[in-house]
Amino acid sequence: MFTVPEKNGKECEKMTRTKLFLIVQAVLCAVIAVLLAAGALGLYLDGAAKQAEGDLFCYIFTRERAGAKLLPVLPLLFCALGLTAAGVILGIKDENAEKPVRDEKLLRDPGSIRERAVHQQADQKTRILRTAVLVIALILIVLGILNGGLEDVLAKGAAICTECVGLG
Amino acid sequence: MDKTTENKNAGIQRPGTRHLVQLYAALLYNANLRGFIDGHIYSGDLKAVCVPGFNCYSCPGAIASCPLGSLQNALNAAGHTAPWYVLGILALFGVILGRTICGWICPLGLIQELLHKIPTPKVRKSHITRKLSYLKYVFLAVFVIAIPLIYGVGKGLILPGFCKYICPAGTFEGAVGLLQNPANATSFYQLGALFTNKWVIMVVIGLACVFCYRTFCRFICPLGAIYGFFNRFALTGVKVDPDRCNGCGLCVMKCRMDVKHAGDHECISCGKCINTCARGAISLKCGKITLKGPETGKNADPEPEIRKRKKAGRIAWGIAIAALVFAVAWFNLIEPATDRTAPPAAAVTTDRPAETENAAGTEAETAVPETQYTAEETAVPAVPAADAPVGTEVGNLLPDFSTELLNGETFRLSDWRGHVVVINFWGTTCAPCVEELPYYEQLKEAYPDVEILAIHNRAGAKKAKDFLADKGWDHLDFALDSKEKGLLPLLNAADAMPQTIILNKQGVVTYNAQAPLTYEKLEALYQQANEP
């Protein structure tokens, strides 16, 4: 009968525990995301249906309704935060993420990396290009200040454009 | 190796220098901390400057503008103002820092990395993610360049494509940042399909960041795509010494971004590869100054040089922290643009009906100091409101004010008692505002008795005048706000546009919300206010 040596068994157990922890946390994150997205969608569909009935001043979202939808997510959110804290303290993480990626297609031509470095070292050209772009940038800024571009940026930034941030 | 990954045996890892710099940048960009408390954004002159990283300018804490939002706005307006300023700013940031900005001083990068710290199984990079990394150029071309140009120059409409349809920073920092504050409760009224769409996008991107390192940065971020163009010749960034490099590719294999070689357009100069390279060929440089070099191995930098770098680092941190303390103090305690309770200037006089002179103070009343009421307050309105407290909330009596109109005449609120008055706050850079202005014109045509005052915010006055000259609307009264006039703080107007205040014939507020209106809604609101 197949037997696992004791040391490997402990390591396997640890690995299984880590994997389980990571999967639980992943599921939790996914559930939170689904609840957050579905909550907003649900609110919108409810409100849109009421508006379609002809209620001009039916507000789709209100602070109270949004709060009510968020409330069930909070325990899960705290749970995920707690697990994250535990994971960080115990040093639990996906070890594979730290390992070098040996994808053949990523390293089709490793020699070219050195060639690139040599190319990058072409200091004279780089320096000229850099200086030219710097000068152009400064000229553009001065031109922009003169043609009112600076004031446009201020006008946009000084007030909230509700459409831009997705408010409406 | 980065300190965060260096000590694998330790439970809680010390944050590395890069993470501290990221946190520092996020705090500095959002030094207007009082914005989170009072629910207003900073609207001072520094908003004319862009920060290098991705930080929504509608975030209550933001002290400067977002370069990507500004670029879209500039391209939108390219028909009459060439976008030199924003292009110059982007080129300047790009040539000095390149994508070092993404790795070190982008708040959105920090958020993505924090999300990725959540212990879950991780998706590793592959040739598929490398192909996906080109997607951000599509986002740049379509949402940042094509849509604003086509709509702005071609159709005369304001449409910042990326901000409006995708940007998760706008949703998280701007929308959520504002909505979480009870002061902006009426902002909820305008939420609809657009918000739902952006909320879902934000949640999906956030979830993706948990599993996949810097999902937004690698596959979506147009700002990263722009800075990537400069990366090869940027002053600051990861540089490879060709005399030491043997092309082993370990730096590429260990890197979590989709780089083809260290320092290419995908490299965010995080510096993780520096101590990965066994030959000490990689270093992070700013011109000829080495910011971070190999500290171990046979090609490690000499000990005195490392000590010198560390000493310089400590001095730089000292200066940076002093700058942060100054910025926080300035924006929260000194800068007048953040002080919304500042009394309006003498050009604006306020009064209230004698009957309500001693009414109990309201929250809004505190925004209009008692000392501002002048002798003119003896001008009792013809139709006095019954015991309504002075304020800006629904059911309050709006404080009287006067202001000079663009046509040279003077508007005085008390002159319009006995009429329904509509006050609209708008801006030329706000698409919903521009879209709804014709409805006000239409309302005035249909109901000549109504008085409509449209107030443009203080910035962009010249553009507003040009815009109105083009449109030729002559039924509406237009006024420009200014620092001196202080109309917006006087009327407790939010920073969010459009906002509309409707007063009944007694001068009592019947509607006050930050939301775009359709003609049908506007007419219904007018009729409601016009009821005896």
| DSSP character string of B306-319 | HHHHHHHHHHHHHH
Q: How far apart, in whole angstroms, are the C-alpha atoms of residue B355 and residue A163?
A: 41
Q: Which of B209, B233, B257 is the last residue of a domain?
A: B233
The answer to whether B191 faces chain A, any CB pair under 8 Å, is yes
From the CA of A69, how many Å to the nearest CA of chain B? 13
Length of chain B: 532
pLDDT at residue number A11: 73
Of B404, B382, B399, B405, nearest in space to B475 by CA = B405
Mutate to test the interface with B, among A15, A35, A163 (most CBs of B within 10 A): A163
Of B498, B526, B528, B492, nearest in space to B514 by CA = B498
B188-215 residues labelled b (16+ CB within 10 A) or e (exposed): bbbbbebbbbbbbbbbebbbbbbbbbbb
Name chain B contacts of A48, Cβ cutoff 8 Å.
192-193
Of A23, A84, A161, Cβ closest to residue B497: A161
Subunit contact B11:A111, Cβ cutoff 8 A:
no
Interface of B with A in 322-361 (CB under 8 A): none
Q: Which of B218, B233, B248 is the last residue of a domain?
A: B233
Subunit contact A160:B494, Cβ cutoff 8 A:
yes
Which residue carries 């994508």 as its tokens?
B99
Q: Which of B233, B265, B282 is the last residue of a domain?
A: B233
pLDDT at residue number B376: 34
What is the dihedral sign for C-alpha A103, A106, A108, A110?
A: negative
Of B404, B410, B397, nearest in space to B503 by CA = B397
Mutate to test the interface with A, among B51, B68, B120 (most CBs of A within 10 A): B120
pLDDT at residue number A106: 65
Q: Which residue segment(s) compose the domain that B400 sits in?
A: 354-530
Of B245, B460, B498, Cβ closest to residue A152: B460
Q: How far apart, in whole angstroms, are the C-alpha atoms of residue B317 and residue B319?
A: 5
From the CA of A27, how many Å to the nearest CA of chain B? 9
CB within 8 Å of B334: residues ≥ 6 apart: none
Subunit contact A154:B48, Cβ cutoff 8 A:
yes
pLDDT at residue number B484: 66
Subunit contact B430:A168, Cβ cutoff 8 A:
no
The answer to whether B15 faces chain A, any CB pair under 8 Å, is no
pLDDT at residue number B261: 86
- The 10 Å Cβ neighbour count of residue B57 is 34
| DSSP run (H or E) holding B240 | strand B236-240
Q: How far apart, in whole angstroms, are the C-alpha atoms of residue B33 and residue B35?
A: 5
The answer to whether B125 faces chain A, any CB pair under 8 Å, is yes
Which region among A42-51, A117-126, B131-140, B220-229 has the lowest average model confidence (pLDDT)?
A117-126
CB within 8 Å of B141: residues ≥ 6 apart: none
CB B66 within 8 A of CB B56: yes
User: Average pLDDT per run of 10 along chain B, which is 532 residues long?
Assistant: 45 79 96 90 90 93 94 90 94 96 95 94 91 96 95 85 93 90 82 92 97 96 96 92 85 90 91 89 91 83 89 95 95 69 42 39 34 32 61 86 85 89 88 88 91 82 79 80 71 77 91 86 91 78
Q: CA–CA distance from A24 to each of A70, A76, A83, A87 (Å)?
A: 21, 12, 9, 12
More confident residue, B307 or A2: B307
Mutate to test the interface with A, among B55, B86, B233 (most CBs of A within 10 A): B233
Of A26, A112, A163, Cβ closest to residue B431: A163
Following CA atoms A37, A42, A45, A51 in sequence, which dihedral angle do they give, to the nearest 10 degrees? -120
Subunit contact B88:A140, Cβ cutoff 8 A:
yes
Give the residue extent of every domain in chain A.
13-97, 121-168
Whether B322 is in a domain gets the answer no
Burial class (CB in 10 A: 0-12, 13-18, 19+), B347: middle
Length of chain A: 168
pLDDT at residue number B395: 87
- The token pair that represents B492 in the structure block: 């407790």
Subunit contact A91:B9, Cβ cutoff 8 A:
yes
Residues B358 and B227 in one domain: no
Whether B323 is in a domain gets the answer no
Size of interface A-B (CB pairs under 8 A): 375
CATH number of the domain where residue B405 is located: 3.40.30.10
Which residue carries 């360049």 as its tokens?
B145
Interface of B with A in 427-446 (CB under 8 A): 427-432
pLDDT at residue number A6: 54
- Structural domains in chain B (count): 2
Task: Say yes or no: ipTM exceeds 0.85.
Answer: yes
Name chain B contacts of A167, Cβ cutoff 8 Å.
174-175, 178-179, 187, 190-191, 194-195, 496, 514
- Looking at residue A140, its amino acid is L
Residues B28 and B167 in one domain: yes
